[in-house]
Amino acid sequence: MIYVGIDDTDILGSPGTNQLARHLIHHLPAEYEPVVAIRHQLLFDPRVPYTSKNSSASLLFRSPTLGSGSVEDLISRLRGLMADWFVEGSDPGLCVTEHVPEAITAFGVHCQREVVCQEDARRLARRHAIHLESLGGTEDGVIGALAAVGLVAGGDDGRVVQIGAWPDDLFGPQDVATLHARGVERVVGVQSNRAIDSGRIDVGKHLRPNYRSGKIVLFVEPVAPTDGDRAAWRAVRFT
């Protein structure tokens, strides 16, 4: 698996990191098979500069088969796509690696609780031979990029914004079978913690499951029964 972390540290009016994550997946060649893109919430604090929400994103790709691509080529392609996306005033960062030590996951958790400086991120990346670079601005994007890689490797954080190469077109009531077909691995009742294997679920404006225990999980709660083709469950979103 190839772990990618991005932090666009966007400005008001720009598309933002989640849309950048989907853009990267859409424009990479077929040899880089996407698994998931995940939004990670970092620390809310007045000492941390951010536009509206201090978040970064991770992307997981299956390692290419022999002769069909490389980590170095992926880095080059991602760098070019992010450079084309760049908006003056933003501070993008990029992290790419095939190995994620526990220290990197601990760093990601730390970034959700404390203010971190970019030299902390750079020093840790150098220590573990992880590719981490700034692509402009103040260079603070390296912090969120490294944090995103650590958090996705931990397998228990974030909200999914893209599943594989599927379009982001599911909304409103959907059958559980449809959600499974799109890559949702588990549908779980929030109150009962039990799997929901059938029925209809109102996913809202967009399908936004969570990443828990290394799986794509949609948490749901029951709604009052009504006549007609209405859902018996509705999605519950967590950061």
β strands within 81-158, DSSP E: 93-97, 131-134
Note whether 27 and 112 are same-domain residues. Answer: yes
- The closest alpha carbon to 55, from 137, 122, 152, 136, belongs to 152
- What is the SS3 assignment for 12? coil
Percent of the chain residues topping a pLDDT of 70? 90
Question: What is the predicted pLDDT for the residue at 48?
Answer: 59
Note whether 151 and 188 are same-domain residues. Answer: no
Note whether 174 and 155 are same-domain residues. Answer: no
- Mark which of 109, 127, 159 sits at the end of a domain: 159
> Could you identify the residue written with the tokens 């098979």?
33
In a domain, 35, yes or no: yes
Question: What is the predicted pLDDT for the residue at 88?
Answer: 80
- Mark which of 159, 178, 202 sits at the end of a domain: 159
Note whether 178 and 154 are same-domain residues. Answer: no
For residue 137, the tally of other CB atoms under 10 A from its CB is 18
For residue 191, the tally of other CB atoms under 10 A from its CB is 10
- The closest alpha carbon to 235, from 197, 213, 209, 198, belongs to 209
Q: What is the pTM of this model?
A: 0.92
pLDDT digits (tens, 9 = 90+) for 26-51: 999 999 999 999 999 998 665 555 55
Using alpha carbons, list the distances in angstroms from residue 168 to 91, 111, 231: 26, 29, 20
Note whether 59 and 136 are same-domain residues. Answer: yes
Using alpha carbons, list the distances in angstroms from residue 128 to 132, 171, 208: 11, 41, 32
- Rg value, the chain, Cα: 18
Question: What is the predicted pLDDT for the residue at 13?
Answer: 56
Alpha-carbon torsion, ordered 134, 55, 164, 128, to 10 deg? 50
**Domain enclosing residue 34, as ranges:** 2-159
Alpha-carbon torsion, ordered 193, 197, 198, 203, to 10 deg? 60
- Mark which of 159, 179, 204 sits at the end of a domain: 159
- The closest alpha carbon to 4, from 66, 79, 65, belongs to 79
In a domain, 10, yes or no: yes
Note whether 24 and 83 are same-domain residues. Answer: yes
Q: How many domains does the chain have?
A: 2
Note whether 176 and 150 are same-domain residues. Answer: no
Note whether 32 and 75 are same-domain residues. Answer: yes
Note whether 7 and 122 are same-domain residues. Answer: yes
Note whether 216 and 145 are same-domain residues. Answer: no
**Angle, vertex CA 169, rays to CA 217 and CA 235, nearest 5:** 35
φ, ψ dihedrals at 125, nearest 5°: -65, -45
- What is the SS3 assignment for 219? strand
The CATH number of whichever domain residue 75 belongs to comes to: 3.30.70.2200
Local confidence band at 239 (pLDDT 50, 70, 90 cut-offs) = confident
Note whether 49 and 119 are same-domain residues. Answer: yes
In a domain, 164, yes or no: no
Note whether 175 and 155 are same-domain residues. Answer: no
> Could you identify the residue written with the tokens 């700034």?
134
Highest mean pLDDT among 4-8, 103-107, 235-239: 103-107
